[in-house]
Amino acid sequence: MKNIFFALVSILTLSLTSYAQEHSGVVVASSKTELAASKENGKYVFQFPEGISSESVEQTTKYYTHYFTVQYDGSSRKAIVTMVTNDEKSRSVIGRFFVANGIDNVNVEGTSMAVGEFFENYLK
């Protein structure tokens, strides 16, 4: 009986851990229409997941000031990324910024994709 209980608890724990890891590194982007407009005007809005602090975002932003600025509101978890130079190379650095903050997927209108796929579809 102990072994069955231990096995069930282990399975539940692993499932919850897997679920938390899967959903913790997902940033939510604007709609496809807004992303197209952002590509033109150089201003993007992203909703970061819970657990990413303002300090963490500010720290990683320091490495990318040649490419963009970031205004991050820790309470709403919204990041406004404003491009310094709005070109493909600079937009590609947004992916590095995401990865530096533990983001590995981007959700656009309910579709989750890897950061590289997001770049190919919406930033390139």
Residue ranges per structural domain of the chain: 26-123
Stated pTM of the model: 0.79
What secondary structure letter does DSSP report for 68? E
Which whole-number Å values give the CA distances from 56 to 34, 46, 103, 117, in the listed order?
A: 26, 15, 12, 24
Q: Are 83 and 92 in contact (CB under 8 A)?
A: no
Compute the distance between CA of residue 119 and CA of residue 34 in angstroms, rounded to an integer.
15
Compute the distance between CA of residue 23 and CA of residue 40 in angstroms, rounded to an integer.
30
Q: What is the predicted pLDDT for the residue at 73? A: 94
54-79 pLDDT tens trace = 999 999 999 999 999 999 999 999 99
CATH code at 26-123: 3.30.1360
HSE at residue 70, side-chain half, CA atoms within 13 A, is: 28
Q: What is the predicted pLDDT for the residue at 2? A: 56
Q: Which of 97, 118, 123, 89 is closest to 28 using CA atoms?
A: 118
Q: What is the predicted pLDDT for the residue at 93? A: 97
Q: What is the predicted pLDDT for the residue at 39? A: 95
Compute the distance between CA of residue 74 and CA of residue 1 in angstroms, rounded to an integer.
46
Q: What is the predicted pLDDT for the residue at 49? A: 95
Q: What is the predicted pLDDT for the residue at 100? A: 95
Q: Are 91 and 79 in contact (CB under 8 A)?
A: no
- pLDDT < 50 positions in the chain: 5-10, 12-23
